[in-house]
Amino acid sequence: MTHSLHRHGSRESLRNDFVFLATPAAGINHEGSKEKLIRILDLIYQLGPANIGSYETGTILAGATIEEIKARLAEVPRVRTAFSSREKVKELIRQVKEEDLGLSITVSGLIEEVLAMAQELSIQPHSVNLSLGVHGRTADLPSEEILEFVTMCGHGMISARLVQDTIDRVKKGNLTPEQAARRIASPCVCGIFNPDRARELFQKYVPLHRHVPALAPEGPAARDLGSGALS
Amino acid sequence: MQINPGTCTGCGLCLPYCPVGAIHLVGLEEAKPPRAPRRKACIDLEACTECGTCGRQYIVRCPTNSIQEDLDILDGPRSIRKYFSDPTTTHKLTRVPGRGTEEVKTNDVTGRFPRGKVGLAIEVGRPILATSFRDVEKITMALAGVGVSFEENNPLTHLMEDRQRGTFPAPAKAARVNSAIIEFTVPEAELEDVLQVIAVVSREIETVFSLDLVTSFARDGSLPLLTTLEKLGVCYRPNAKINLGLGRPPAQG
């Protein structure tokens, strides 16, 4: 139902992770919405998002430009973007409300944070999609640490193996956490993957000093791992 | 997806990118020139969900551009896999990109989930494990058994051969997809019974599902359904997706 809803992670890790979607309703107000979405894209870009994507072009992280994204919006277009700053996403909501473009706006994030922003902007939210968790054969899932990365792409395009392979490369000193974040972000075509949060997760889970043996059973590197799941 | 055996060098660059682990390196037994590769990448078509990731050159950067999509992928026998795995596709009937619907995204305009009703979605295969339609059918049949009416604007509903029984035709049941989303709306009074059905069938499937619930805010800004969920012992995550109510024209009710 929704690819931005089921992000795993601690409250602290999710606190500055927001997905902003602007969506015209097919058959109701989608005609003529392209210009409005282009306006919203301009507002987003000026504020400096963590990511922007488009099914037609891929994401800015994968090399698409904002001009390409604007030029190739679909018949029933959508804007999808991730932010790592509460202040930026709040300012975006304020601007979109002020311009009264009439498109539906959803924000995914910590409930308390989104509701607080709405209250500060005198907005009464309409409805909410709640995540009631994962059920079924959950023992087959990868570790919770891996899930924190892969669930930032709700479409399931980022493989657990790619995350594990990237963690191994960071451990060996072949990638920085920032490069690693961009690598695993690339399969997300819609632009809601948050590379800033991914970088922080790499910094949290992977020993940073290449001269420290990453897989040593003792010593600072092993202690920093926190969980055996990523070793 | 297909890998051209004539140009693949067996470098293995594509392997970790496949979300369902469908790409393997296979050794070559037959006689070959001395400098030819000793192994090549091969896609297990039963496991492949046709998500298209490996073929996107800006992602995998295959040095010989050897990974290609079938030309008839959107109309051929594997199109079911494509529509339910590649978010860049748009379903012909619903005109909605991806495999789901607009759900809460446009609820302020469509009014699909008015006060007194809740929307439920069972995202089978999410996160990351993917699913067969046989598992999807186990769930839809269980829900049909208690009278659930499936969301008209969801591509999954259009695949059903019998919506009253929640069954799918044989070609669909042969498909494996990244995820399939079962959507429906129920009166709040029926929520407990439906959640019981979902809990029972969750023990009968060979994959996972993520469960969503859509509800509207009361006029005073509260969420009365949270009290109901607490009474039922149902937990929800601290993060959610919130429709800010800025869409026009506003839905009635």
User: Rounded to 5 degrees, what are φ and ψ at B97?
Assistant: -65, 150
User: Shortest CA distance to B224 belongs to which of A9, A128, A80?
Assistant: A128
Class of domain A11-120: alpha beta
Query: Tokens 């991914």 appear where?
Result: A198
For residue A163, how far is the Cα from the chain centroid?
15
Residue A202 binned pLDDT confidence (cut-offs 50, 70, 90)? very high
Q: Angle at the Cα of A22 (from A17 to A23), degrees rounded to 5?
A: 130
User: Shortest CA distance to B243 belongs to which of A189, A93, A70, A152?
Assistant: A93
- Decide if A185 touches B, using CB distance below 8 A: no
Which of residues 125 through 164 in chain A touch B, CB cutoff 8 A? 125-138, 140-142, 147, 150-151, 154-162, 164
Average pLDDT over residues A86-115: 97
Residue A223 binned pLDDT confidence (cut-offs 50, 70, 90)? very low
Q: Is A136 within 8 Å of B53 when comparing Cβ atoms?
A: no
Shared domain check, B94 and B26: no
Does residue B240 fall inside a structural domain? no
User: Rounded to 5 degrees, what are φ and ψ at A112?
Assistant: -60, -35
Shared domain check, B197 and B101: yes
The rounded distance, in Å, linking the Cα atoms of A177 and A186 is 15
Does residue B90 fall inside a structural domain? yes
Shared domain check, B57 and B95: no
Does residue B251 fall inside a structural domain? no
Shared domain check, B131 and B218: yes
Q: What is the largest CA-CA distance in chain A?
A: 62
Q: Is A162 within 8 Å of B16 when comparing Cβ atoms?
A: yes
Q: pLDDT tens for residues A39-79?
A: 999 999 999 999 998 888 889 988 899 999 999 987 777 88
Closest-CA residue of chain A to B229? A132
Shared domain check, B162 and B96: yes
pLDDT above 70 coverage of chain A, percent: 89
Shared domain check, B32 and B60: yes
Task: Look at residue A221 in the predicted model and tell me its pLDDT.
Answer: 31
Q: Give Cβ neighbours of residue B251 (< 8 Å, ≥ 6 apart).
A: B107, B108, B109, B110, B111, B114
Does residue B246 fall inside a structural domain? no
Which of residues 34 through 93 in chain B touch A, CB cutoff 8 A? 51, 53, 56, 58-59, 85, 87-88, 90
Asked if the model's pLDDT at residue A3 lies above 50, the reply is yes
Task: Look at residue A214 in the predicted model and tell me its pLDDT.
Answer: 40
Does residue B243 fall inside a structural domain? no
Q: Which of B69, B93, B126 is the last residue of a domain?
A: B69
Chain A hits for B62, CB-CB cut-off 8 Å, are: none
Shared domain check, B120 and B174: yes
Closest-CA residue of chain A to B207? A137
Residue A229 binned pLDDT confidence (cut-offs 50, 70, 90)? very low
Q: Is B129 within 8 Å of A112 when comparing Cβ atoms?
A: no
Nearest-CB residue to A126 (from B207, B213, B245): B245
Does residue B7 fall inside a structural domain? yes
Shared domain check, B166 and B58: no
Count of A-B CB contacts under 8 Å:
294
The rounded distance, in Å, linking the Cα atoms of B52 and B193 is 39
Task: Look at residue A213 in the predicted model and tell me its pLDDT.
Answer: 41
- Decide if A21 touches B, using CB distance below 8 A: yes
Nearest-CB residue to A106 (from B18, B51, B104): B104
Helix pair A195-205, A160-171: axis angle to 10 deg: 60
- Decide if B101 touches A, using CB distance below 8 A: yes
Q: Is A26 within 8 Å of B95 when comparing Cβ atoms?
A: yes
Shared domain check, B86 and B42: no
Host domain of residue B93: 82-232
User: Rounded to 5 degrees, what are φ and ψ at B137?
Assistant: -65, -35
CATH number where B106 lies = 3.30.70.260
pTM: 0.90
- Decide if A98 touches B, using CB distance below 8 A: no
- Decide if A120 touches B, using CB distance below 8 A: no
CATH number where B59 lies = 3.30.70.20
**How many structural domains compose chain B?**
2
Query: Tokens 């959508």 appear where?
Result: A78
Asked if the model's pLDDT at residue A89 lies above 90, the reply is yes
Residue A217 binned pLDDT confidence (cut-offs 50, 70, 90)? very low
Task: Look at residue B102 in the predicted model and tell me its pLDDT.
Answer: 79
Does residue B143 fall inside a structural domain? yes
Query: Tokens 């979405």 appear where?
Result: A37
| Cis amide bond preceding B155, omega within 30 | no
Does residue B206 fall inside a structural domain? yes
pLDDT in tens, chain B (253 residues): 999 999 999 999 999 999 999 999 998 766 566 777 789 999 999 999 999 999 999 899 999 999 999 888 888 889 899 999 998 887 665 555 666 777 889 999 999 888 889 999 999 999 999 999 999 999 999 999 999 999 998 889 989 999 999 999 998 999 999 999 999 999 999 999 999 999 999 999 999 999 999 999 999 999 999 999 999 999 999 999 999 999 999 998 6
Average pLDDT over residues A16-23: 96
Shared domain check, B112 and B222: yes
User: For chain A, what are the domain ranges?
Assistant: 11-120, 141-230
The rounded distance, in Å, linking the Cα atoms of B195 and B110 is 25
Chain A hits for B244, CB-CB cut-off 8 Å, are: 93, 105-107, 118, 123, 125-126
| HEC string for chain B | CEECCCCCCCCCCCHHHCCCCCEEEEECCCCCCCCCCCEEEEECCCCCCCCCHHHCHHHHCCCCCCEECCCCCCCCCCHHHHHCCCCCCECCCCCCECCCCCHHHHHHHHCCCCCCEEEEEEEECCCCCCEEHHHHHHHHHHHHCCCCCECCCCHHHHHCCECCCCECCHHHHCCEECCEEEEEEEEHHHHHHHHHHHHHHCCCCCCEEEEEEEEECCCCCCCCHHHHHHHHCCCCCCEEEEECCCCCCCCCC
Chain A hits for B109, CB-CB cut-off 8 Å, are: 25, 28-29, 104
Task: Look at residue A88 in the predicted model and tell me its pLDDT.
Answer: 98
User: Rounded to 5 degrees, what are φ and ψ at B214?
Assistant: -105, 130
Task: Look at residue B71 in the predicted model and tell me its pLDDT.
Answer: 86
Q: pLDDT tens for residues A112-146?
A: 999 999 999 999 999 999 999 999 999 999 999 99
Q: Is A124 within 8 Å of B245 when comparing Cβ atoms?
A: yes
